Structure 1
């Protein structure tokens, strides 16, 4: 090889001509062949021949490379404009380059910044990436992402507010109502109707209000309140209630047989303290006058003649 690893050319030892001596064809031709090999290794300045191997710049800089105006020509670019591993841009210049693709990643034809804003990018800033032969796609900036999140949060808040207004205090079937208490008032965890029939109220219907402290209280419906008032004012065949724990029952019964068991309208918790009869005749015996024959559910009377079917008034006092 006529050129060493440092690029130095050395003439063949047989190529030196001596004055007065004949030039031999074998020596002359071999020297010309050596020149030919050396010239064939040269890098032509007009770019007529491609490189056949990697070039070592030995730490030196390739200066004055042409600026790129048409990326489709795949021209070489200066180190200040690009690195072989990355794609770089200056200002809003559309850049082009190829990236090695693996089985799942495609090469990139170009990248450009759209609607650039200051800092992390404006609310409409994004990267537009175009793979070769494919549709471009956008990569949003931080500013754009934050703006979209804020907009969606506001939209959700508006929808919730509009929905609440449209409900106007009404709730879908089976739903609970919740609410935050103001001041020292407790917070309501849920409200639900109890003792309804197919959604309609009954004499025992009420709203159960549950609190977050684990307690609950009922609110009777209109029909429940009306039923309780009616039950209170309607005539009864007994009267109940005096001092705490004491029950007084006033009622009537009809004598129908000589020996008759009479039940109390409501049972006492134990044997009554006293029973007073007011018959229309004096032919009655209250269990032979022996209280031990009384029970908490009733007593026995004996009829000693006279007219049956007479009405007898009773007052019984005992523990409720």
Structure 2
């Protein structure tokens, strides 16, 4: 990276992943004329043995950051603890999502088995295990529900093993990566989001965009754009019984599912239009390249 900066001589370097932030900030300590932007995507680090070491390095090197971007207001607010050094530092929420209505859901009638749908990378913090346990609880109550999950990741085999152990493997479909997955998802009845930590949570926004009634935990950006019983149904983190109850309550109420789904689609179209994104990016671009580097 040091060699690349010497060759390219950029005005601005934007650092995204935590590892990139640590390396990039360290290198930029020796390139004070380059403006450093840290792009935050999640409010907290995953719970791993190295988490405290990462936190120490990020906080120590934050003195080199001139500007902080975040994918949503909640991420921006909660990551401020990673910047303890008192200094002038600009902040911005950068839109990563633009709503489209090309595949909006219009039929909310449920016929046959309940079609649940999820999406995301198969990692532990997404808590797909909770949805699998809820599927087993619904089966024990005589509720015929099937769940399709779009995505890939290291937890895939563990998810299948859990479904086998709970005797619901025949009701679970891991559909793999599908570009614009929400087009197929719009044919399902209810979207589930079970994460214990998120940034903006793109898949939730996409599900809401197409009018899927959503049952979700309230994490990350969902604090900013979801409201219980208005455009989503909120459930506690990690509680399969609460998730199963919420599904069972929502299924027989077509009017409520329609109201929640259409309200979600309308809100996404209003908050995340192409025009809003263009305006925000123009403002950030103008400010970023008009500004001289802030010396720390």
Query: TM-score band (shorter)?
Result: under 0.3
Greater relative contact order, per chain length (Cα 8 Å cut-off, separation 6+) = 2
TM-score by length of 1: 0.14
Higher strand share: 1
Higher helix share: 2
